[in-house]
Amino acid sequence: MAITRHEVEEILALDWEELPGLYSSKDTQLYAISIGMGRDPLDSKELSYVCETVGSNVMPTAASVLGTPSIRARRNAMAQLMKKMNLIMMLHGEQRLEIHQPLPSNAKTLLSSGVTGVYDKGKNKGALVTFATKARLDDGSELFTSSSTLFFRADGGFGGTSEGAPVAHELPRRAPDAVCEMPGRNDQALIYALNGDRNPLHRDPTVAKKAGFDKPILHGLCSYGIACHAVLKTLLDYDQQSIKGFDVRFSAPAFPGETQVVEMWRDGNLISFRSTLKERNTVCIDNGRCLLA
């Protein structure tokens, strides 16, 4: 049975439970390695993300995995949604990030998550659902807000509104100001899964084939981190403190081992970007927006 407008309103009205979280340098370093940092063991700038005796830098997009202890709170709202939605027809559409202060390498946090919007695109056009996780340090100061948009292709037409739905960032129409090639690893999905997303679609060939893929696909959030790595490396001299926001729209799955070519355009404190798979000439991340301090 499809979801109703009244049920959507009830889900949006639910309180967000705040729960304690905890992460260490092991978690932030593993994340950095999983998106390609540290391949050159003599590169001190990348080592500052993966070796504590060199530095304590943290990838801003690590927020996408450091907020997972709040999953229980998010499930309270998600569980009601998922009972009514067609999960087989669900796609991860977008990922957004606001950084309120540089991420420390170790932290005790307070995390809350919930549904922020359900948007009706119309019958046979699907519905968009937005979720967010807010993180504070245990002293109460805001740390980050990480949000995602899920596209339920078969669940439109429940009588809701489409107003207020996320709008994609428009890329400049000129040639890119910079281009960076990010070679992949064949085992990259196996490494990235250790951050917490153990979905077998990304590791088990049998599961991937049942889902219609010749082999396991790379996590979309891994490509998200690779794009951030490219921006830091190419335009920001690895200064993670300069990034205040990082948003993308996922447009196609990537496979482990593929080279992601990241095109970048810089306009003041805004960097626009997209990622294309070199081997297939396919855009996997589009409408990228990096906001600088």
Residues classed as catalytic: 197, 202
Percent of the chain that is helix, strand, coil (3-state, to 5): 30, 30, 40
Q: Report which of 174, 183, 182, 184 is spatially closest to residue 272, judged by C-alpha positions.
A: 174
Return the SS3 of 262: strand
Name the β-bridge partners of 150. 92, 129
For residues 284 and 158, what is the distance between their CA atoms, to the nearest angstrom? 30
Q: How far is CA 178 from CA 67, 224, 228, 234, 235, in A?
A: 31, 18, 14, 7, 8
Half-sphere exposure of 182 (CA within 13 A, CB side): 30
Q: Where are the alpha helices (DSSP H) in the chain?
A: 5-12, 25-34, 44-50, 63-66, 71-82, 188-192, 205-210, 220-235
For residues 38 and 49, what is the distance between their CA atoms, to the nearest angstrom? 8
| Torsion, CA 206, CA 155, CA 150, CA 75, rounded to 10 | -90
129 near 115, Cβ under 8 Å?
Answer: yes
